[in-house]
Amino acid sequence: MSKKDRPLIGISTSSKSGLIPLFFHRFAVWRAGGRSVRLGPDRPLDADALDGVIVGGGSDLAPALYGNEVAIVEGIDPERDAFELALLEHFKGGKRPVLGICRGAQMLNVFFGGNLHSEISEAYPGSRARRTPLPVKRIDIDKGSRLHGMLGVSWCQVNSIHHQSVDRLGEGLKASARDRRGMVQGIESENGALLVGVQWHPEFLIFNRPQQRLYRALIRAAFDARA
C-alpha cells in the first residue's frame, strides 16, 4: 500500500507531555495500515483532510465542562479542551471514525453531554488509581457491542493510568465495557457508528492482539469512510 493510499488519522495529544504516547499511537496506526499526523492547539489542521481521529490521553478535563464545582486549577489544559471539542464537532456525524483513549474517552462523553467522576476513589470506595502501563486490570466487554467486534474478545486485561472515569453517559452513548467494580471502561455510539472510547491505553499494549485489532478496525473504518 502506497503512502497516499493509507488513511490519514489525526492524533490529538498534549503539546507538553504527549510525545511518548504519540510515538506509540503512530506506530500502531502505521502497523494497522494507516498514516498519522499530530494535532493540537499548537498544530491545527483542516479536519476535512482527515479520514479518522484519535483523541489521546493526558491532563484532566476542566471540571466546568461537565458541571463539576471542584476547583481544580492544576493539571488542566483549557486550550486543548477547546481544541478537542471543536475537533469532535467535525466528527460527530459518525461518517468518519473516532477513537477516544483515556482522557479522550472522557472527552467524548462530556462532548455529548455526559459527566465524570472526578475521583474514582470517592465514586468507588476501596478502589485506587493503579497508574501503570502494564495490563493489571480485567474488563468485561458486552457481547454484540461495537467494541466487542473490534477487539474480538469478551474480556481482556488492560492497563490503568487514570483517576477519573465516566459517570452519567452522554446522549446517544452506551457503556460497552466495565471492570469488576462496575466502573465504565468502554463507551460507544448507540447508532453503530465507529465512535468508541476506551479508558485504558491500547497504544502501550503493542504485543496484545486484541489491542492491535482495535487499531486495525479504526483504519478499516477510515478507509471505508473515503468511499
Active site residues: 102, 201, 203
Q: Alpha-carbon distance 49 to 183, whole Å? A: 36
Place of cell 459517570: 167
User: Crossing angle, helix 103-111 and helix 78-91, to 10 degrees?
Assistant: 60
15 vs 182: CA distance, rounded Å? 33
Distance CA 216, CA 218 (A): 5
Run of H or E residues at 214: helix 209-225
Q: How far apart are CA 19 and CA 107, in angstroms?
A: 20
Name the phi and psi angles at 194, rounded to 5: -80, 85
φ/ψ of residue 49, rounded to 5: -80, -10
DSSP 76: B
Three-state secondary structure call for residue 105: helix
Distance CA 15, CA 153 (A): 34
